[in-house]
Amino acid sequence: MEKTSMFSIHEGKPIRCKAAVSRKPGEALVIEEIHVDPPQAYEVRIKIICTSLCHTDVSFSKIDSGPLARFPRILGHEAVGVIESIGEHVNGFQQGDIVLPVFHPHCEECRDCKSSKSNWCARFADDFLSNTRRYGMTSRFKDSFGEDIYHFLFVSSFSEYTVVDIAHLVKISPDIPVDKAALLSCGVSTGIGAAWKVANVEKGSTVAVFGLGAVGLAVGEGARLRGAGKIIGVDLNPEKFELGKKFGFTSFINPTLCGEKKISEVIKEMTGGGVDYSFECVGLPSLLTEAFSSTRTGSGKTVVLGIDKHLTPVSLGSFDLLRGRHVCGSLFGGLKPKLDIPILVDHYLKKELNLDSFITHELKFEEINKAFDLLVQGKSLRCILWMNK
Amino acid sequence: MDKASITEGKPIRCKAAILRKAGEPLVIEEIQVDPPQAYEVRIKILCTSLCHTDVTFWKLDSGPLARFPRILGHEAVGVVESIGEKVDGFKQGDVVLPVFHPQCEECKECISPKSNWCTKYTNDYLSNTRRYGMTSRFKDSRGEDIHHFIFVSSFTEYTVVDIAHLVKISPEIPVDIAALLSCSVATGLGAAWKVADVEEGSTVVIFGLGAVGLAVAEGVRLLGAAKIIGVDLNPAKFEIGKRFGITDFVNPALCGEKTISEVIREMTDVGADYSFECIGLASLMEEAFKSTRPGSGKTIVLGMEQKALPISLGSYDLLRGRTVCGTLFGGLKPKLDIPILVDRYLKKELNLEDLITHELSFEEINKAFHLLAEGNSIRCIIWMDK
C-alpha cells in the first residue's frame, strides 16, 4: 500500500497543507497554507478527500458577534477522508481507513449513547464550541504566523488535513463512491433519520416537508422508501419541485402562490384534514407554526430539524396541542452516527437509496467560494469540493 | 324496572343544579327532561363528582363558551332509564358512564388505533345535542331551554346523552369509583399508559396533584417508574401522593431563586424521562418541558390552558431531541378502554378509593365547589337522591 508509506512520513509531525480560512464575517474564505498538528490521544488525523457545503457553514461564516462568532476559523463539516495517522488509545481505526467525520458526537459510553431512545450523547453534545473534545480550546491548526485557527463543530473539513476526536468519527465501507459518502456525514442522514427514526413514517402516511434543501429532500427520500402515500413539498423556489420528484415528492406548494390562505390551510384541504407527519427543515418559527397546524388532530406529528440563528422560541397553540398532536426536535435525524451511518451506506450499496441526485455541482477546493455563491443563490443542492490529490 | 317504563316516552320532572349566573352558587330547581330521540339515551344519574373543568366553565361570564342557564357536570355514573330509536348495545337498567369525549366508532380516527380524536364530533363541544344542534332536552319551570354541557350535564337527576358519549360498564364496580373513570382517572391512567407508555425504571415528574395528576402517578407506578416527582403548591398533596406512588415532592413556593425545572434537573441528573402537566397553565407546561432530559425527554400536556395562551418552547431545547404532545381523555377510546380500566379495578390492580375524599348529598353540591377551590378535596362524590 503506497499510501501507507506516504502517511508514515508525517506521522507524529505537523503537516503543512492548504485550508480555506474564514477570517472575517461574511467575507470570502481565503486559501492559505496552514500547519496541522499530529493527533493526540483519542484523536485521528484525516486527509480529506472531498467535502460539501451545508447551510450551517454559511450561517456561521456570517456571524459577526456573540459567542458563536470565532475568527479565524476553518469551517466545513460534511466530508469524507482517509486516516493518515492515529493518536494513542484509538481503537477501531487505522491508517488507510475510509472515514466520515461527523459534527454529532457519539461517545458510546454515556447513558444516552447506550439507550436506544436517544442520540443526545450526554457526555459531549452540550458543548459545540470547544476546539477539541478532550483538550478544551487547544487547536490543532496554526496559520503561517503561528496563530491558532478555530475548529468548527469538531470537524473542520475545509482543509486538506484535519484532526478529529474518535467520538466524531465513523468508519465506512470503501465500496461507496466517496462523494456520495460525504453526503451521509450531515444533511442527507439528518433527513432520512428524521423520517425513519424520529417520525417512523409508515406505509400510506401523508407527509409535508417545509424547505426542500438537502435535508428536506432527504426526508422525502426517507418517506418514499417507507411507502408514504402522499409527500408534499413546500418551498419558495419552483425549481425544487422537479428535483423533488426524484426523491418521491408527489405535490408541491409555493407559499407565494397561496393567496389569502395559509400554507396549513392549503395542506389541510389537500389531505382531508391534515398530514400525519410534517417536517420543518428551514429554521423559521413562523414556518414551524404552519408545519404544526398542518398536521391532523388526534395523531399528527411535527418534527423540527431547522433552527434560526436568533434561537427565537417556538409558539404552539395549547388547544391545538391538547387535541392529540406531537412536536419533537432532533439533531442529526435522531441517528447514532457509528451505528446508523453504516446502515445508510449499506442501503446505498444495495441501490435502495438515491444519493446521486443530491449532487448538482462539482468544483475544485480552490473554487470553494463559488460553492457559497451557488448555495446562497439557491442554484445548488450539494456541491462537492474535491481536494487536490 | 316498572318505574322506568312508566316514564318512557314522556318528559320527566326532576331536580337539577342550574348555573344561572357566572361564579354564583348553583340553584337546585325542578326541571323537565324530554325523552331521548334517535341515537339518544335518558339516564338516571346515581352519583357525580366535580372536576376543575366544571369550575372553569362555572366562572366564565362572557365569550362564546359562556352559556346560561346551564347544567354542568360531566364526571358521573348512571342507569339507563329509556332509550331512543336506533340505539344498539344499550337497554333499560344498564349501568353506564356518560363521557364528554365522543367516540362515533365510524370515522377514520375512531377506526385507527393511533388516535382517539373522533373527527365526526370532536370539533364541536358547544352544541346541546350531537345530532339535533342547539335543541335542548332540558326545560326549566318556566318552559325555557337550559343549555347542556359537553354532551353530559350530570348535575341533574336525569340527563339525555348521545350514544357516542356513552359507555356500558360492569355493574360489579362500586358506582362512586366508576364515576371517576368517566373523566379524571381515565385521563390520568390513559396518559401514563397509552400516550407516554412509561418504561420500567423511568423518572417521571407530575405537575399538579389533583385527581388527574394522582391518576398519572398511579399509572406510572404500575408501570414500574423508579422515581415519581410530584409538583404542587399544596404540601398536603404529598402525603396523599405517597399512596399513589409519588416518591419526591417539589413545592414551587419553596424553590427560592431557582425555577422548578432547574430543581428537577438537579434531582434527576440532567432531567426526567417524562413530565406531565395536569393543571392548565402555559408557564407550567414550559417548565414541564424544560424538566425533561435532552435526547429523549417527553412532555405530555393534559391541562386545558385556562386563558388559551400559547406555549413557548426554546427552539434549541426542542432540537436537542425533546418531544411535547397533548391529549384529551388520556388518548383513550372511551367504549374500548374504560371497560379495561373497570376490569383492572375489579382485579384489585388499581388504587382509586383514596381519590374520594368527601361525599355530599345533591342539595349540598355548592359545598363541593368550596372544597375544591380551597384545595381540600381530591374528588367529592355527590349522591343523587335515591
Contact predicate B25/B155, CB 8 Å: no
Same domain, B137 and B23: yes
Q: Which residue has the higher pLDDT, A160 or A389?
A: A160
Query: What is the SS3 assignment for B16?
Result: strand
Query: Do B322 and A329 make contact, defined as CB atoms within 8 angstroms?
Result: yes
Q: How far, rounded to the nearest angstrom, does the alpha carbon of residue A104 sit from its chain's CA centroid? A: 9
Same domain, B97 and B137: yes
Query: What is the SS3 assignment for B22?
Result: coil
Residue A68 belongs to a domain:
no
Question: What's the whole-number mean pLDDT along residues A20-40?
Answer: 97
Same domain, B192 and B275: yes
Same domain, B162 and B247: no
Residue B5 belongs to a domain:
no
Report the percentage of chain A scoring pLDDT > 90: 89
Same domain, B199 and B308: yes
Residue B240 belongs to a domain:
yes
Q: What is the chain B residue with the closest CA to A281?
A: B319
Residue A248 belongs to a domain:
yes
DSSP A159: B
Residue A84 belongs to a domain:
no
CA distance A365 to A346: 28
B318 touches chain A (CB under 8 A): yes
Q: Which residue has the cell 506521522?
A: A11
Q: Which of A120, A305, A320 is nearest residue B294 as measured by Cβ atoms?
A: A120
A contacts of B282 (beta carbons < 8 Å): 318
Q: Cα–Cα distances in Å, from A60 out to A74, A156, B354, B385?
A: 11, 12, 57, 72
pLDDT, one tens digit per residue, over A15-28 is 999 999 999 999 99
pLDDT for residue B1 is more than 50: no
How much of chain A is helix, strand and coil, in % rounded to 5? 30, 25, 45
Contact predicate B313/A292, CB 8 Å: no
Q: So what's the pLDDT on residue A389?
A: 53
B283 touches chain A (CB under 8 A): no
Task: Please report, for the domain that includes residue A270, its CATH number.
Answer: 3.40.50.720
Q: Which of A112, A305, A308 is nearest residue B295 as measured by Cβ atoms?
A: A112
Element at B17 (helix H, strand E): strand B12-18
CA distance A374 to A367: 11
Same domain, B163 and B270: no
Query: What is the SS3 assignment for B135?
Result: coil
Q: So what's the pLDDT on residue B257?
A: 94
Same domain, B263 and B358: no
Same domain, B136 and B238: no
A contacts of B314 (beta carbons < 8 Å): 311, 313-314
A contacts of B278 (beta carbons < 8 Å): none
Task: Please report, for the domain that includes residue B145, its CATH number.
Answer: 3.90.180.10
Q: pLDDT confidence of A210, banded at 50, 70, 90?
A: very high
Task: Please report, for the domain that includes residue B262, its CATH number.
Answer: 3.40.50.720
pLDDT for residue B372 is more than 50: yes
Inter-axis angle of helices B365-373 and B52-59, to 10 degrees? 100
Q: Cα–Cα distances in Å, from A21 out to A18, A79, B8, B23, B72?
A: 9, 16, 87, 68, 69
Q: Which residue has the cell 508509506?
A: A5
Question: What's the whole-number mean pLDDT along residues A249-278?
Answer: 96
DSSP A274: -
- Structural domain containing residue B268: 186-328
A123 touches chain B (CB under 8 A): no
pLDDT for residue A66 is more than 90: no
Q: So what's the pLDDT on residue A307?
A: 83
Please give the full DSSP string across B271-288, using - where no structure is assigned: -BSEEEE-S--HHHHHHH
Query: Do B323 and A328 make contact, defined as CB atoms within 8 angstroms?
Result: yes
pLDDT, one tens digit per residue, over A147-168 is 999 999 999 999 999 999 999 9
Residue B113 belongs to a domain:
yes
CA distance A56 to A332: 13
CA distance A293 to A300: 9
Q: So what's the pLDDT on residue A249?
A: 97
Q: So what's the pLDDT on residue A2?
A: 41
Inter-axis angle of helices A55-62 and A368-376, to 10 degrees? 100
Same domain, B114 and B156: yes
Residue B252 belongs to a domain:
yes
Structural domains in chain B (count)? 2
Query: Do B318 and A328 make contact, defined as CB atoms within 8 angstroms?
Result: yes
CA distance A297 to B102: 14
Query: Do B319 and A125 make contact, defined as CB atoms within 8 angstroms?
Result: no
- Structural domain containing residue A283: 191-332
Query: Do A329 and B119 make contact, defined as CB atoms within 8 angstroms?
Result: no
Q: pLDDT confidence of A5, banded at 50, 70, 90?
A: very low
Contacts of A367 (CB under 8 A, 6+ apart): A385
Contacts of B58 (CB under 8 A, 6+ apart): B19, B22, B23, B26, B72, B369
Please give the full DSSP string across A131-158, using - where no structure is assigned: SSSSSTT--SEE-TTS-EEB-STTT--S
Q: Given strand B12-18, what is the order of strands in its sheet?
A: B12-18, B27-33, B138-139, B145-146
Q: So what's the pLDDT on residue A7?
A: 52
Question: What's the whole-number mean pLDDT along residues B248-273?
Answer: 95
Judge if the upstream peptide bond of residue B69 is cis by omega within 30 degrees of 0: yes
Q: How far, rounded to the nearest angstrom, does the alpha carbon of residue A110 sit from its chain's CA centroid? A: 23
Query: Do A307 and B315 make contact, defined as CB atoms within 8 angstroms?
Result: yes
Q: How far, rounded to the nearest angstrom, does the alpha carbon of residue B259 sit from its chain's CA centroid? A: 29
Query: Do A321 and B311 make contact, defined as CB atoms within 8 angstroms?
Result: yes
pLDDT, one tens digit per residue, over A315-353 is 999 989 999 999 999 999 999 999 999 999 999 999 999
B327 touches chain A (CB under 8 A): yes
> Which of B328, B343, B362 is a domain's end point?
B328
Question: What's the whole-number mean pLDDT along residues A227-247?
Answer: 95
Q: Which residue has the cell 360489579?
A: B172
Q: Which of A297, A321, A330 is nearest residue B319 as measured by Cβ atoms?
A: A330
Q: So what's the pLDDT on residue B63?
A: 86
Residue A301 belongs to a domain:
yes
Q: So what's the pLDDT on residue B340?
A: 96
A contacts of B115 (beta carbons < 8 Å): 298-299, 324
How many CB pairs below 8 A link A and B?
Answer: 145
Q: What is the chain B residue with the closest CA to A310?
A: B315
Task: Return mean pLDDT, chain B.
Answer: 94
Secondary structure E strands in chain A: 15-21, 30-36, 43-52, 78-86, 98-101, 141-142, 148-149, 161-165, 169-171, 206-210, 230-234, 251-253, 277-280, 301-304, 314-316, 326-329, 359-364, 382-386
Question: What's the whole-number mean pLDDT along residues A23-43?
Answer: 97
Residue B177 belongs to a domain:
no
Task: Return mean pLDDT, chain A.
Answer: 94
From the candidates A111, A128, A314, A320, which should be mutated to test the interface with B, based on the most B CB atoms within 10 A? A314
Q: So what's the pLDDT on residue B240?
A: 94
Same domain, B26 and B136: yes
- Nearest residue to B55 via CA among B383, B381, B377, B373: B373
Q: So what's the pLDDT on residue B386?
A: 53
Q: Which of A311, A323, A329 is nearest residue B326 as measured by Cβ atoms?
A: A323
Q: Cα–Cα distances in Å, from A384 out to A156, A364, A379, B10?
A: 15, 8, 14, 81
pLDDT for residue B4 is more than 60: no
A contacts of B325 (beta carbons < 8 Å): 321, 324-327
B295 touches chain A (CB under 8 A): yes
Query: Do B321 and A315 make contact, defined as CB atoms within 8 angstroms?
Result: no
Residue A110 belongs to a domain:
no
Q: What is the chain A residue with the closest CA to B122?
A: A323
Q: So what's the pLDDT on residue B304?
A: 87
Contact predicate B31/B15, CB 8 Å: yes
Residue A129 belongs to a domain:
no
Same domain, B16 and B164: yes
Residue B347 belongs to a domain:
no
Residue B173 belongs to a domain:
no
Q: So what's the pLDDT on residue A310?
A: 78
Residue A204 belongs to a domain:
yes
Q: pLDDT confidence of A3, banded at 50, 70, 90?
A: very low
Residue B203 belongs to a domain:
yes
Residue A169 belongs to a domain:
no
Q: How many Å lie between the alpha carbon of B293 and the closest alpha carbon of chain A?
A: 9
Structural domains in chain A (count)? 1
Same domain, B258 and B194: yes
Torsion of CA A263, A266, A270, A274, to 10 degrees: 60
Pairing of strands A206-210, A277-280: parallel
Inter-axis angle of helices A263-271 and A285-293, to 10 degrees? 20
Enter the ipTM: 0.89
